[in-house]
Amino acid sequence: VTVQRLDPIYVDLTQSVQDFLRMKEEVASGQIKQVQGSTPVQLNLENGKRYGQTGTLKFSDPTVDETTGSVTLRAIFPNPNGDLLPGMYVTALVDEGSRQNVLLVPQEGVTHNAQGKATALILDKDDVVQLREIEALSL
């Protein structure tokens, strides 16, 4: 017999070590302004619907899986109705903070040139359309 606590329930989230280190560096340099207090997490269920409760990220004791090169972080969610069950597949939306001095461009507006660099069409000060290389960052 295995007894498992379902309310609250823990959800383990994975992120690449590279993304984890990049985020820590960007926070330290001031490029990302972190959310004050606990970091909110939303879940999308396998059926595409958003889970109705907001969880929080627990930054203590992140672990690294050496075989996959990913960091596992833990979030805790209220689960009063037992909607979340152990082993369910969910996707997480983590509010890592807000980037400073950047523009948000719809993904549909970004293309890639022959070298694989991200590009977008912009309107310059003379109202002329120009193709520019951009640095595409994740949110």
Of the two residues 99 and 22, the one the predictor is more confident about is 22
Is residue 1's pLDDT more than 60? Answer: no
pLDDT of residue 121: 92
pLDDT recorded at residue 98: 62
User: CB atoms < 10 A from the CB of 107, how many?
Assistant: 6
19-37: average pLDDT: 75
What tens digit of pLDDT does each residue of 42-90 get? 999 999 899 999 998 886 567 788 888 888 888 899 999 989 988 888 9
Dist. CA 107–CA 104, nearest whole Å: 9
H/E/C letters for each residue in the chain? Answer: CCCCCCCCEEEEEEEEHHHHHHHHHHHHHCCEECCCCCCEEEEECCCCCECCCCEEEEEEEEEEECCCCEEEEEEEECCCCCCCCCCCCCEEEECCCEECCCCCCCHHHCEECCCCCEEEEEECCCCCEEEEECCCCCC
Mean pLDDT, rounded, of the chain: 83
Q: Given this model, what pLDDT does residue 34 score?
A: 65
Residue 7 has pLDDT above 90, yes or no: no
Q: pTM above the 0.95 mark?
A: no
**Is residue 53 a contact partner of residue 11, using CB atoms and an 8 Å limit?**
no
**Nearest CA to 15 among 75, 88, 82, 79?**
75
pLDDT, average across residues 6-32: 82
Domain 9-100: CATH superfamily is: Efflux pump adaptor protein, beta barrel domain (2.40.30.170)
Query: What residue spans define the domains of the chain?
Result: 9-100, 103-139
Nearest to 62 by CA among 94, 30, 86, 36: 94
